[in-house]
Amino acid sequence: MTAPSSDVYDALLLLSFGGPEGPEEVLPFLENVTRGRGIPRDRLREVGEHYYHFGGVSPLNRLNREIIEHLEAALRERGDDLPVYFGNRNWHPFAEEAVAQMSRDGVRRAVVLATSAWGGYSACRQYDEDIQRMKEHLAADGLADIHFLKLRQFYDHPLFIDAQAASLRAAYAKVGVEDPAAVDPHRTRLIFTAHSVPVAADRAAGGQEAPQLYSRQIAEAARLVAEELGVEDYDVAWQSRSGAAHIPWLEPDVVDHLGSLLGGGSLETIVVCPLGFLSDHMEVVWDLDTELADAAKEAQIGMVRADTVGGFPQFTQLVLELLDEVREGTTPRRLGSLPAAGQTLDGAPCAGGCCVNPRPRHLGNSGHPGHPGTAHVTGRPQREERIS
């Protein structure tokens, strides 16, 4: 195989949300996430308790570094000298710091991998806003400009689906199930989860041409994974909602859904796939591994949670294929029928009305409009909230 050319694009930037890596970083991180909203510090301390429960550390940065290590090794193996950089929206290493270093290193055209497979404002368009801010930072500091190409959504890529199925097979094996297709779904229930968003945000996802793109992509990916496993009867539930109680969000909530499953009296085990999350972070380790696990234990129901797939070899190969699509013109591999947009230039959205933020701009944080994918701190105690 001929090594891909790096003449057109001279770097890859992994762009993510960020998270604290020590107790002393929790409050500054939350202040960054909620900047401009006047949230009292005492309230932020309440929100921070979920982080302190885990030593003040979100696993997200560590897992993103592992993704980068896997990518660097895979690139070297095929003789590709493309350098990989790492930048976050809300914590070190900040995206602005990363692109400043890229510019100093001579990077002029970069590919951006956002750590999200999906469409929607939080899952896709907000990364375009990040790119716009990155370019503004370069200009303000008098640094050479960089042109950015953001890679497309990959919710239905065969390797993404295969990784999810492999993770679920391992999860089923932990409860003694060799063939997921052979189990009684009323006793051992498969539940896919993804980050809930306001109904209005989902309606705006995809714009007028393809509304509700986010929830439809989640449903299609769940179907594709279940088909690979041979499982015909499963559920899709939502998690990590936040904000004012009067605003409708996608339902059912996964904990509430577990309660509804108990009515039949035959449920013994739930197998949970955090389909909407590329890597573990607070929504996974708290909302699923803690809150949902506690609810299952109280109901005397067994629970096993499938691993997120960012560290799987299939995901590494997936990213290489996405790179080849834009660098070599290879044909995109897809299993689904819904739009998989998101490939953008220099932060310009796919279309003017695509995935707009339905929330008022004055609720913004980190220099951006408020959105369903940040750590909201109104209503009940909230978590690090992001679709990834």
Q: Annotated binding residue at 328?
A: no
b/e sequence 133-161, b meaning 16+ C-beta within 10 Å = bbbebbeeeeeeebebbbbbbbbbbbbbb
The first and second tokens of residue 120, run together, are 């929607």
Contact 76, 40 (CB under 8 A): no
Residue 83 backbone zone (phi > 0: left; psi -120 to 50: alpha; other: beta): beta
Q: Is the dihedral of CA 135, 140, 142, 143 positive or negative?
A: negative
283 is in an annotated binding site: yes
Q: Which helix (H) or strand (E) holds 315?
A: helix 313-327
State the Cα torsion 113-115-116-120 to the nearest 10°: -80
> Which residues lie below 8 Å from residue 328, measured CB to CB, with a gap of 6+?
4, 5
Q: Indicate the SS3 state at residue 251.
A: coil
DSSP 339-367: -----EETT--SSTTTT---S-GGG-BTT
Query: Tokens at residue 143, please?
Result: 């640094």
Torsion of CA 177, 178, 182, 187, to 10 degrees: 0
DSSP 143: P
The CB density around residue 73, as the number of other CB atoms within 10 Å, is 10
Q: 3-class secondary structure for 267-291?
A: CCEEEEECCCCCCCCHHHHHHHHHH
Q: Is 127 annotated as a binding residue?
A: yes
The answer to whether the beta carbons of residues 6 and 81 sit under 8 Å apart is yes
Kindly state the tokens that stand for 56.
């003040």
Query: Is 58 within any annotated ligand binding site?
Result: yes
> Residue 239, SS3?
strand
User: Which residues line the annotated binding site?
Assistant: 58, 127, 195, 283
User: Which residues line the annotated binding site for Fe-coproporphyrin III?
Assistant: 58, 127
User: Which residues line the annotated binding site for Fe(2+)?
Assistant: 195, 283
